[in-house]
Amino acid sequence: MRGSRLALLSDAKAILREHGAEVEAIPTEGPRTAGVAARVAVADGVDLVVAAGGDGTINEVAEGLIGTDVPLGILPAGTANVLACEMRIPLSMRRAAEALLSYSQERISVGRLVTPDEDERYFLLMAGAGLDAHIVYSLNSALKRRMGKLAYWLAGFSQFGRTLEEFSVRADGVEHRCSFALIAKVRNYGGDLEIAREVTLLDDEFEVVLFHGRASWRYVGYLAAVAANQLKNMKNVTVLRAREVELLNAPNDRVYLQVDGEFAGQLPARVEMVPSAISLLMSPEYIAKACGERRTAEVRI
């Protein structure tokens, strides 16, 4: 973590201590180590684990808390901060620490991605297969550190002009062909867009958005439809709800996977919902809004 972020983290710790919390900062030692640190903290008897970082770090910490009663709080300090944007957590670490003190814990479901050799990856936000995972796979990590979200956009624009890999997705017994599958627990995508429009963190189903076609130029229209909130009316886009999704092998093509913006391997895989898996600190406003929308959706059904 850079010096400026370390100073912000010190401010956040001071705020929590001012309100009576005993705070211990545990730095990560590299990729895939934050979950281990979270499990050790739980074993040591902590009451709360707060993840300070981006969505990738938060994902790792969350994996260490799956199945425990210890809640997770968020201090955003990363590239996109999708979870923070989704829950309207202030992107200022100091303000986020102050807000955290008024939040309540809510038990939520998470997603789980399983590969044929039984490797598992849990996620709070989304799993993606195809185009967006290819962008994550090909992203230069040094460029990401230097340019932040702009690096993702540049990597995305570099895909235009090529023929995309197409693969099969099976949900509720129906098979679809697409070049990008988004299996979402949140609306926010990358901090700037909303692709899934009718899902919240409190839901026990994924919103699945499938973009059809191998021609990359189609995504110009798809992006415009996302910006105009017209995706459900777009030809060659399928939007559905599911608790389990199969991502099937693409003959002669290598199709990549991502979870919460981090590379997660390649097809085939299964994505499933894990009910009541983790406690997350949320603002009362977000909980009320999500519960209201869920009741509205139930009435429509």
pLDDT of residue 89: 93
The CA distance from 171 to 220, in Å, is 26
Proportion of the chain above pLDDT 70, given as a percent: 89
On average, the pLDDT of the chain sits at 88
Q: What is the pLDDT of residues 284-301, one digit of tens each?
A: 999 998 887 755 555 454
Structure token pair of residue 219: 């995504």
* The pLDDT value given to residue 33: 86
Strands 49-53 and 72-76: parallel
Q: What is the DSSP letter of 164?
A: P
Q: Over the stretch 133-157, which tens digit does the pLDDT of each residue have?
A: 998 888 766 656 666 666 666 666 6
Flag whether pLDDT at 38 surpasses 70.
yes
pLDDT tens digit string along 77-97?
877 789 999 999 998 888 999
Output the pLDDT for position 82.
Answer: 92
Q: How many CA atoms lie within 13 A of 135 on its CB side?
A: 23
Minimal CA–CA distance to 22: which of 44, 37, 43? 44
Q: How confident is the model at residue 174 (pLDDT cuts 50, 70, 90)?
A: very high
Tell me the per-residue pLDDT of 205-234, one tens digit each, with 9 for 90 and over. Answer: 999 999 999 999 998 899 899 989 898 888
The per-residue pLDDT for 137 is 87
pLDDT at 299: 46
Mean pLDDT of 253-280: 94
3-state SS, residue 98: helix
| DSSP summary character for residue 141 | H
Q: pTM (2 decimals)?
A: 0.90
Which parts of the chain are beta strand (E)?
Answer: 49-53, 72-76, 104-114, 120-123, 126-130, 167-171, 174-178, 180-184, 188-189, 193-194, 206-211, 237-242, 244-248, 256-259, 262-266, 269-282
Token digits for 295?
């009741």
What residue ranges define each of the domains in the chain, with the CATH number in brackets?
A: 3-102 (3.40.50.10330), 112-274 (2.60.200.40)
What pLDDT, on a 0 to 100 scale, did the predictor assign at position 59?
95
